[in-house]
Structure 1
Amino acid sequence: MSPTHSRAPRDHGGGIDAAIAAHGGTRAGWLDLSTGINPEPYPLPAFSPEDWTALPDHAAFAELEAAARQFWQIPGDARLLPAPGASALIARLPALAPAGRVQITTPTYNEHAAAFAAQGWQVTGSGPSEARVLVHPNNPDGRVWTEGDASTPLSVIDESFCDVMPSRSLVHLADQPGTIILKSFGKFWGLAGLRLGFAIAEPEIIDRLADLAGPWAVSGPALRTGAQALRDTDWATQTRARLTRDAARLDRLLTRAGAELEGGTSLFRLYRVNDAATWQQRLAKAHIWSRIFPYSPHYLRLGLPPASGWERLEAAL
């Protein structure tokens, strides 16, 4: 018998199954705009049988690390650790220091606060602290931070969405003591199901995270896909331009429908509306899923539709 868990699920995008239960339809018939995942993902490479049947070898990890170092311009004294998604790293970061106070400015991605609280840290929005988390750019409002904001003994800079604005990256801080840069492969490259993320930091921190993660934490297919995608700078450049155009197109649609732009990135847009729950329900009747937030009755967040979804969204609005 599987164990039961009383803890309520944390608030995230997705949740198509619940939307289907409430509004009908099938998963294939829904347009999910509740996440910030690129709707036109990087094309998967051709996998070899060994990618699936063999434990990943050191050469595969080295190839991925070399591609990542070049793509993100990682400082020479910093090291990199691949992991099965940035969330796997977020859960382990609070163990790197004795529990104390961690400053997390809200609203932001809620897994950071949950991870620190689960390991005995006091989460605070301001004031003196031993650790700080900066989601850069922030989810959901797109706020960007500066290197002066990362001034605590343990500073976590979550750059899961920063690949749309590489010039604003703070990865050059990764060789500073106590500073950890997180990267996510699922957002910009649109392959969230691949489960690939990275921590970039000084060697001592990476060694400790590697001990917590264990061996072979990343699959062979993820290693191959990540290395190929990170070397494909032409795809990245073209994708940034397309995302910028599509974000502007989404803004035009929503503002014509009466929403006010609040912020976001070129992967997701945050709007202020009179009643976010009503907007979500109206879109759901057309089997379009959006994101609203328990802390604001006015925030509505939308990801970008795929090419085939624009007319459908416009009709629903």
Structure 2
Amino acid sequence: MSLSTPEHGGRLRAAAKTWDIPVDQWLDLSTGINPHGWPVPAIPDEVWRRLPEPDDGLEQLIRQWVSAPDVAACMALAGSQAAIMHLPRLRQPCRVGVPFPGYQEHGHNWVVAGHRVIEIGNDLREDDDESWLDELDVLVWINPNNPTGQAVEPGRLLGWHQRLQRRGGWLIVDEAFVDATPELSVGHATDLPGLVVLRSLGKFFGLAGLRAGAAMGDPDIIRRLRAMIGPWSISGPARSVMGQALADTQWQAATIERLHSESQRLADCLSKHGFEGASGTALFRYVRHDRAADIADELARRGILVREFENPAALRFGLPGSEPEWTRLDQALYLSHLY
């Protein structure tokens, strides 16, 4: 696996420069972030003037959010990325499995920390023979997967965990896109040794710029993670907003319903224009296509940014945020004759 820095969606300014289209004229569908994010209220002045305080009730709200047992350790973070970067430094070099394709920051950070990373493709994870787990010391799983949207049932994930734990192995589950499908979460099992679950407010809550997330699970792992990151692992304003967003369960329930409806609308739109077999989550659709690069370029010429993947060749489409944006995407797909 390459040591080069992974690329991400949302590089709008770079696209604007490449295609000579002003930033404010783009429709950015590259990130999979909820375009109808949680409405952030004004932050009280005292939150800005005081250091973050760990006894503000945020950890209990996080446990409720993920249905975690009271005995599970919990740590608020500046996005799940903070845990992705630091967890590899809590183990001596070992064999680490990561899904392929998958969010590249996981494999990248384990490689940087000196571990041997093994990519786990569909052929392994869909096979009844799970002996491949015996070749790993750590398995990092993304559920549902980013970018494909494929999901593994919690029971199977916990079976994987049990097999790893017999040899002192870890299972780390990245649940950045699980909020709209909470039945897929293993948060309820975060009292188990060797299990860590990562969550984020960036996608479902539409608060990527806040940099707020959490790690929960094995108390020994979380204790060591806390010691490595140090105090004030998340800012006071981020703690304040995170707590209020997690407490707003009415908004969360309504948003789950809305996102599922809009995800189906996006799937129907893509199918109408010849993109068959799309997978995804409530926040994006992923489709493999031999001409993915050409399609991404053609849409970019029209000021529409989607996420392109090279291996395998594929595109990820996020949700438009308004009726004019839905119309713009539909017309661009029609006029471009991409299928």
TM-score in terms of structure 1 length: 0.93
Answer whether contact 2:263 2:282 (CA < 8 A) is retained: yes
- Matching of residue 203 in structure 1 with residue 203 in structure 2: no
Q: Secondary structure at the match of 1:261?
A: coil
From 319, 323, 327, the counterpart of 1:304: 319
C-alpha distance in 2, partners of 1:8/1:100?
Answer: 21
Counterparts of 1:219-298 in structure 2, within 5 Å, are: 219-297=235-313
**Partner of residue 59, structure 1:** 55
**Partner of residue 149, structure 1:** 160
- For residues 258-311 of structure 1, the C-alpha deviation after alignment (integer angstroms, 9 at most, x for no partner) is 1113311011110133411111111111211001112123x1110111014111
Q: Secondary structure at the match of 1:59?
A: coil
- For residues 204-240 of structure 1, the C-alpha deviation after alignment (integer angstroms, 9 at most, x for no partner) is 1111111111111211111111111111111111101
C-alpha distance in 1, partners of 2:184/2:202?
Answer: 19
Shift of residue 64, structure 1, vs aligned partner:
1.2
C-alpha distance in 2, partners of 1:258/1:174?
Answer: 42
C-alpha distance in 1, partners of 2:23/2:76?
Answer: 31
C-alpha distance in 2, partners of 1:58/1:271?
Answer: 43
- Matching of residue 160 in structure 1 with residue 181 in structure 2: no
Q: Secondary structure at the match of 1:82?
A: strand
C-alpha distance in 2, partners of 1:187/1:158?
Answer: 12
> What amino acid is aligned across from residue 46 of structure 2 in structure 1?
E
Alignment root-mean-square deviation, CA: 1.4
Answer whether contact 1:64 1:227 (CA < 8 A) is retained: yes
Q: Secondary structure at the match of 2:55?
A: helix
Answer whether contact 1:117 1:123 (CA < 8 A) is retained: yes
Shift of residue 243, structure 1, vs aligned partner:
0.5
Answer whether contact 2:62 2:214 (CA < 8 A) is retained: no
Answer whether contact 1:258 1:273 (CA < 8 A) is retained: no
- The aligned length equals 308
Shift of residue 8, structure 1, vs aligned partner:
4.3
> What amino acid is aligned across from residue 139 of structure 1 in structure 2?
N
- Matching of residue 98 in structure 1 with residue 109 in structure 2: no
**Partner of residue 43, structure 2:** 47
From 119, 122, 128, the counterpart of 2:113: 119
From 11, 14, 20, the counterpart of 2:16: 20
Structure 1: any 5+ residue segments left out of the alignment? 1-6
**Partner of residue 131, structure 1:** 138
Between the aligned residues of both structures, percent identity stands at 39
**Partner of residue 129, structure 2:** none
Answer whether contact 2:66 2:188 (CA < 8 A) is retained: no
Q: Secondary structure at the match of 1:92?
A: helix
Between stretches 138-147 and 223-232, larger displacement belongs to 138-147
- For residues 55-111 of structure 1, the C-alpha deviation after alignment (integer angstroms, 9 at most, x for no partner) is 112333xx2112112222111210110110111110011122221101112111111
Answer whether contact 1:77 1:202 (CA < 8 A) is retained: no
**Partner of residue 4, structure 1:** none
Aligned structure 1 segments of 4 or more residues deviating by more than 6 angstroms: none
